Amino acid sequence: MIIKQSKFVKSLSVFAPFPGQGLPEIAMVGKSNVGKSSLINNMTGNSKLARTSSEPGKTRLVNLYLINEAFFLVDLPGYGFARAPKQEKQKWADMIEGYLRNSKNLRHVFQLVDVRHAPTEDDQLMVEYLRHYDIPFTVVATKADKLSKAQRGRSIPVICRTLGVQPWEVMVHSSKDGTGKDRLMDLIEAQVAPADETEQ
C-alpha cells in the first residue's frame, strides 16, 4: 500500500461524531513516549503530521488522521507516565478507554512496546483489556534502531512471554530508519480492505 494522502481531521477529548466516521480505524496504544505519534508519521511519510516529543505526555487527546480518504490512523494519549499529575493521568485513561469502547469502526490496534524493555504492568493490563473486549491487536516493538539484531533476539522473547504472544506475531519497527515499515503497511492494508476482499 502507498499512502498518498494523510491529513489531520479532528481531536476528541470525549468520543463524538467526526467527519468521515464510518471508515475503518486503526489505533495506536502504548505507554507515553513509546513512539505512537512517530509511527504515524513514519507510516505516512509526513514528519509533521502528528506532534512528537522527547518528553512523555505529548499527545493529550484522541487525534484522528484520515489516510488516502479511505481509513483513519488514530493516535491516542499514552499511559504510565509516572510524573504526570494524577488527575491528568485519569483523564488520559478515560480518553483511551472511551475511544476503544465507543468506536464502532475500530478494526485493529497496534500495541506499542519499547523493544529494549520488558513490557510494564500497564502494558499487560492494556493487552488484557484488548483481549477481554475482543479487539484485534498486533504488538509492535518500537525503536528497533536502538538495538542490534542479536540484542533484539534476546529482547523479543521477553516481550512475547510477558504479553502472551508468539514471536512471529510481534512486528519490529523503527520510525528512525524505517525497519519493519513494509510489514506494518501490509498489515494495515489487510485490515482496512473491505471484508469480501480479505477472504479471497
Ligand X SMILES: Nc1nc2c(ncn2[C@@H]2O[C@H](COP(=O)(O)OP(=O)(O)OP(=O)(O)O)[C@@H](O)[C@H]2O)c(=O)[nH]1
Name the residues that contact Mg ion, by CB under 5 A.
36-37, 58-59
**Beta strand 62-67 with 71-75: parallel, antiparallel or unpaired?**
antiparallel
Angle (nearest 5°) at CA 43 between 186 and 34:
110
| Binding partner selected for residue 155 from ligand X, Mg ion, none, CB under the kind-specific 5 to 8 Å limit | none
Under rule CB under 6 A, residue 181 binds ligand X: no
Q: Which is nearer to Mg ion, 58 or 173 (CB)?
A: 58
Q: Among residues 108, 176, 181, 183, which is the contact residue for ligand X, using CB under 6 A?
A: 176
Under rule CB under 6 A, residue 143 binds ligand X: yes
| Binding partner selected for residue 143 from ligand X, Mg ion, none, CB under the kind-specific 5 to 8 Å limit | ligand X
In the chain, beta strands by DSSP E: 6-12, 25-30, 62-67, 71-75, 106-114, 137-142, 171-172
For residue 79, the SS3 value is strand
Residue 173 identity (one-letter amino acid): H
Contact 157, 167 (CB under 8 A): yes
| Binding partner selected for residue 89 from Mg ion, ligand X, none, CB under the kind-specific 5 to 8 Å limit | none
Under rule CB under 6 A, residue 89 binds ligand X: no
Q: Which is nearer to Mg ion, 61 or 158 (CB)?
A: 61
Residue 175: CB atoms within 10 A of its CB come to 23
Q: Among residues 72, 78, 95, 99, which is the contact residue for ligand X, using CB under 6 A?
A: 78
Residue 47 identity (one-letter amino acid): S
Under rule CB under 6 A, residue 152 binds ligand X: no
CB of 33 to ligand X, least distance (A): 4
